[in-house]
Chain A
Amino acid sequence: MDLRLLVQLGIIGLTFFMLINASALLVYAERKVMGFMQQRYGPYLVGPHGLLQPLADILKLLMKEELRPKGADRWLFTLAPILSVTAAFAAFSTVPWGAETTLFGLLDEPVKLGAADVNVGVLVVFAITSMGVYGIVLAGWSSNSKYSLLGGLRSAAQMISYELSYATAIAAVILLAGSMSIREIVDGQAGSWFSIVPRWYVFLQPLGFIIYMIAGVAETNRAPFDFPEAEQELVAGYNTEYSSVRFALFPQAEYINMTTMAAVATGLYLGGWHGPFLPVEYGWIWFLLKVSAILFLYIWVRWTVPRYRYDQLMQFGWKWLFPAAVVNLILTAAAVLYLNA
């Protein structure tokens, strides 16, 4: 078999493996950070500093009995979690996580780190993440329970509303870079201004970055926008009736979606694998560091900010976030046109 093909398949496998581990690690990080914020230790007993806690959690979920409510729709009830997690994994397929490498001279021509490089990469991520809403909506509907249904409906409305701001914020970056491939957008951010400030788009698009982060939190249904599963109002929202492995797939999809959101933010705004001190072949270390920083921010926000009210969420999305995103897009377009003319 062709060595190059083998290496590329290996990279795809590695991407998949890292995503699975990211979701397990995030569960641990979430509980640990929450613990520290509430002045306690968090998980501590399984493994050193509780590091093996995710394994114990997964084992526990695997051993549980799988329940299905009597009035539930048989096929859709099973399909919903599968759809969620498949969309979450597939969305990462066009996200690059490192520059090119020859594996220490093993290959004649360098391979790119990342599953696939498509010239409409940003849009592919956006399209597949927007398919993820089907998993949640179907879970809500097929459970035949009013809490689940309300959670599913909320999720659909919320994701449609915030997708607009999300896409508009991304469009401004596409205008700056003149490309829709995430790899080309990242490479447009190499180098620095006055050899001090790195050439990251976050400095040109501060408003866009903030809009992206807020809409990203809403898109992944995280606190303070976690209405689909608001426990005080809806028991557990769309996943109320789920148990065992079927249940486990929903948080896994959520954590993978968070990782994708953070990776895209890193690529679009924070210069991807470009950074000081490290040669670009080792840029993936920078990439991992930046993604981890954004994910920490996500967790930090979740345990700091209380949940909004649902009508406030819709008001904020349509009356503040979306107009701000449109203004940002128009200003960016005007600036690009003026500077290129």
Chain B
Amino acid sequence: MPETLVFYLLSGLAIVTSGLVIGQRNPMYSVLLLVASFGALAGLYIQLDAPFVAVAQIIIYAGAVMVLFLFVVMLLNAPQEDAAEWDRTHPLRQPAFARFSALLALLLVVQLVWALLTAAGTDAPVAARAGSETVSSVRALGRTLFTDYVFAFEATSILILVAMVGAVVLARREGDQA
């Protein structure tokens, strides 16, 4: 029973904070609410018997990626968005874009519901499900990652490398030495 309570608490927190991220006028608050949302997700991973995934979530997303976001927001010192101005001029406020986004959102909801309905054995406790030891043990997780999913893993790392090189090339000014 307490576990169910904690689950509802964490998932409620994740949903509320994610909703508030979009609603903020101040980008600083958005970043912080997103961090809170990631923290709640990490809690859910712990409940799913996956401590490594939870810690990785905090280190990578809450600890590294969001600090960079914060850094950018602080450096730009972005002024608060002018709501009325945005309503009129922003390209994403055109009705065609709004309809397309609504369609995408609907597709996502349908997909999620479909996935939840067809997933087998979700009523069994986490530890009893097939493949649960792959998630809870770091050793097994590493083995799976570097055998079964090695292609996806390497492809992702090359993708990140390309992005990194691209960023360096773009940031380098013309005529810069070294």
What residues of chain A have their CB less than 8 Å away from a CB belonging to chain B? 73, 76, 118-120, 123-124, 126-128, 130-131, 133-134, 137-138, 140-141, 149, 152-153, 156-157, 159-160, 163, 180
Secondary structure call for the B interface: helix
B10 interface hit (Cβ, 8 Å): no
Known interface pairs A131-B62, A131-B63, A160-B68; A180-B28 also in contact (CB < 8 Å):
no
Q: How far is the CB of A174 from chain B (nearest CB, A)?
A: 9
Measured between beta carbons, the chain A residues less than 8 angstroms from B58 are 127-128, 130-131
Select from chain B the residue with minimum beta-carbon distance to A142.
B28
Measured between beta carbons, the chain B residues less than 8 angstroms from A160 are 64, 67-68
Question: Are A123 and B74 interface neighbours, CB within 8 A?
Answer: no
Secondary structure call for the A interface: helix
B7 interface hit (Cβ, 8 Å): no
Known interface pairs A118-B51, A120-B51, A131-B63; A76-B71 also in contact (CB < 8 Å):
no
Select from chain A the residue with minimum beta-carbon distance to B63.
A130
Distance A2 CA – B51 CA, assembled complex (angstroms) = 27
Distance A123 CA – B58 CA, assembled complex (angstroms) = 10
For this complex, into which size category does the number of interface residues on chain B fall?
Answer: 10 to 19
Select from chain A the residue with minimum beta-carbon distance to B55.
A123
Distance A301 CA – B55 CA, assembled complex (angstroms) = 32
Select from chain A the residue with minimum beta-carbon distance to B137.
A119
Question: Are A137 and B51 interface neighbours, CB within 8 A?
Answer: no
Measured between beta carbons, the chain B residues less than 8 angstroms from A159 are 67
Measured between beta carbons, the chain A residues less than 8 angstroms from B20 are none
Q: What total of A-B pairs shows CB separation below 8 Å? A: 61
Question: Are A137 and B70 interface neighbours, CB within 8 A?
Answer: yes
Distance A133 CA – B71 CA, assembled complex (angstroms) = 11
Question: Are A130 and B59 interface neighbours, CB within 8 A?
Answer: yes
Can you name 6 A-B pairs with beta carbons within 8 Å?
Answer: A120-B138, A127-B62, A130-B67, A149-B74, A152-B74, A156-B67
Measured between beta carbons, the chain B residues less than 8 angstroms from A124 are 55
Query: Which of B56, B64, B74: most chain A CB closer than 10 A?
Result: B74
Distance A231 CA – B52 CA, assembled complex (angstroms) = 40
Measured between beta carbons, the chain A residues less than 8 angstroms from B71 are 137, 153, 156-157
Distance A149 CA – B76 CA, assembled complex (angstroms) = 12
Q: How far is the CB of B52 from chain A (nearest CB, A)?
A: 5
Question: Are B138 and A134 interface neighbours, CB within 8 A?
Answer: no
Within 8 A of A (CB), among B27-82: 28, 32, 35, 51-52, 55-56, 58-59, 62-64, 67-68, 70-71, 74-75
Distance A81 CA – B67 CA, assembled complex (angstroms) = 17
Q: Please provide the 9 A-B residue pairs with the shortest distance between their CB atoms, ordered closest to farther.
A: A130-B63, A127-B58, A123-B55, A127-B59, A120-B51, A127-B55, A120-B55, A156-B71, A141-B74
